[in-house]
Amino acid sequence: MYKSISAGVFCLLSFSATEAFADTTFLRCFYKASTDTTNTDFDYEWGLKSSSSFFPTTIKGQWWNNAIMNDPANMFYTDLPQSTLKTYCQNAFTKKGVTQPLMWMAAGSTSASLNYTIWSNDLSASQPNGISKLIVFGDSASDNQNLYSGTQQLMPYHGSWFLGHFTNGRVWNEYLADNLNIPNYNWAVAGAAADDYLVIPGLEGQVDSYLGYMQSAPNYQPEKSLFTMFIGGNDLVNYERSVASILANERAALIKLIDSGARNILVLNLPAFDRAPVFVDSNSERDDADTIRSQILELNSGLVALVSELKTQYAAQNINVNLHLYDVKSQVDAMLNNPAAYGKSNVTESCLELNNQSSANYLMDHARRPHCTDADSFVFWDRLHPTTHAHKIIGEGLSGQGGVAAFVRAHYPL
């Protein structure tokens, strides 16, 4: 869904080589267009400096030096803090009468350009102690736009998945970032495995990309970011890769991250993908649930050993790495075993009316199952990915006092 600024402000052009080196952009402020939990429609307003402003606010800064037209691999760096950008969004919502909450912010020079991440610069080398940024690596369980931008906003289809998310709203790390009141910078790519898959970067590729972008981020201090890694589902469910290969690639990515200065890292283990609809619904074509279950248990056990090994290895070098493993499997198991306690009534079907598992499904619109009138009552949005309400439970618990957020508050400096 696109909306122009005004022909009187500038012509509607695609992101161009000239703009790639420009020092200004505009702010897109996205929101859900409906309160219906099964509706994935969205809209946006252009950020305003005040609710009485007429023209969209110009955001000053610089583009990452990449002159390829409409390349999704781009980022806009600004000295404005995320809190100021959120205020500009709220001003626009007030002016336009939008009552839905802000879901996402992006840089966009025209109505035809893609959505680009806005990085808020650290203004000096002297910064308060504590974590000030969330950096995310992973796959579709964590991706909030990257594959969507990389496919020119074709996948996942916006009529069935919300704004580049493989669910009907936000994903777990967005709930986490909001709970901690820190910005979320996301390198996760849907379809990713621990190692590269075709053109999709694995963990090391994602870390390399992050390191490349940070060369243009003034005063950035990696020790004041929290890094998360959540990977392995595609390796086991879709790509038939071994547990040993996942652990080896995750180990290499963690070492590269630590050696580049990361000091606060959270690894998430794998939930019970073998209990997702693709394995258990009445249309399931899979007969390998037991194998997947066994591999998940093996991987999760290996992650315990990996985290312990790396902590010991770096402690011996007098490098203090705050590295922990979060047990998302136990959390999701609890939801599946006692759904009523989490406001759930369906743990075996997808809300979307999907009866086969194909990558092509993500390019198409799909009806909702007739009995899915409230997606919050379902654990799964499609046959593999959870609903945004399930993501919320993972990210911050039912009341905002649990989940990954509570674990982070207990184990990391904020």
Give start and end residues of each alpha helix (H) in 238-284: 243-259, 277-280
Residues with a catalytic annotation lie at 140, 382, 385
Instruction: Match 């080196």 to its residue by tokens.
Output: 21
Tokens of 208: 């390399």
**Cα(172)–Cα(228) distance, integer angstroms:** 11
Spatial neighbors of 134 by CB under 8 A, at least 6 apart, are: 173, 176, 177, 180, 182, 183, 184, 185, 225, 226, 228
Question: Which DSSP state fits 224?
Answer: G
The answer to whether 273 and 217 have CB atoms below 8 angstroms apart is: no
Give start and end residues of each alpha helix (H) in 200-352: 203-214, 233-237, 243-259, 277-280, 289-315, 328-337
The answer to whether 377 and 390 have CB atoms below 8 angstroms apart is: no
